[in-house]
A = this chain, B = another copy of it.
């Protein structure tokens, strides 16, 4: 191929008049630099972490198709009181898609060996036909792996491994995880089983509980059950979990976890202290399935922490040690880190109202993959 590579990119634009617009923009990629490659995208998962940028705070009830058959557009309204939340992106045409995989079709002079290889990539802008990217952000896929196999090699696997690394770095020995039947949650179960780490899974339905029990999870608790808090205390007391990772964010779940950790610690406590038990208790919020306020009933003393957890911050903190994690993902791509996609769509389909409605639900067991070659 020559330097004339041109392709469509999915773009998301929020405007001051309260519209969110998804479009497919033709982009000329130009020549790759000496350390860059141009990759033809063949698979890119729609992760929960993509949806915030893709759809912003738009009202899903107002989704409508506009544009033409050749150049489809999707439009939705942003409620006026939520416009402030996207002030930083108004008027900007933003590329979307954290990760993907495909075939290297052009390569700079220093990275010619990658030409023709299938690679996985991380770095944004992956909902596109082509992506120009630094070779450092690519991992050649192992022999026999398809683009779909490698498309989700970064976000979920490194997040799940990041939870375990964070647990160890901060001196904890067992984990509580919410929204635990997700693709990520299932990976975390496989990692913890392999590594002998106790994991308390919190789910929101019996169907989700069944999924996890089916893959061998030992502690699975339904937050909708009447005896939820009592069972949570029991599981935490048994496992000694003093760190939690919460995908939900809003509501009282983080508070329930901290209070259960405190109650479990007090069972073993000696003398009474007005300041609560002095064991460290930590919950990290890494998602926002509920964007409402986080409400803490602080009956858990003064030895506690709540915070945000973001993969890019974690990777920055561990630095070169990330290579070890990436290698494990590559080694266990078809086992621990296997992703299952329920539906494969083309780039234009990602703009169809009924399909957007389906994938933005983030329903357990439903995971969408974009194949831009369709």
Contacts and interface: CB of A to CB of B under 8 A. Distances in A.
A293 to B, nearest CB: 5
A310 B302 contact: yes
Contacts of A88: 266, 269, 272
Contact of A306 (B89, B276, B302, B307): B307
B303 A310 contact: yes
Per DSSP, chain A at the interface is mixed
Contact of A296 (B89, B293, B299, B301): B293
Please tell me how many copies of the chain the complex holds.
2
A85 B275 CA distance: 12
B310 A307 contact: no
Contact of A304 (B92, B302, B308): B308
Contact of A274 (B52, B249, B305): B52
Interface in A54-113: 85, 88-89, 92, 94
A85 B305 CA distance: 20
B305 A272 contact: no
A294 B304 CA distance: 13
A305 B305 contact: yes
Given A295-B293, A312-B275, A313-B278, A305 B303 contact: no
A219 interface: no
Contact of A272 (B92, B296, B301, B312): B92
A299 B298 CA distance: 21
A246 to B, nearest CB: 11
A286 to B, nearest CB: 7
A88 to B, nearest CB: 5
A52 B273 CA distance: 10
A184 interface: no
Contact of A302 (B89, B276, B303, B313): B313
B288 A298 contact: yes
Contacts of A301: 308, 310
A307 B305 contact: yes
9 contacts: A85-B299, A92-B272, A249-B298, A250-B298, A276-B308, A278-B310, A296-B296, A302-B309, A307-B307
Interface of A: 52-53, 85, 88-89, 92, 94, 249-250, 255, 266, 269, 272, 274-276, 278, 285-286, 288, 291, 293-310, 312-313
Q: Which 8 A-B pairs have the closest CB atoms?
A: A302-B308, A305-B307, A302-B310, A294-B296, A89-B272, A52-B274, A53-B274, A88-B272
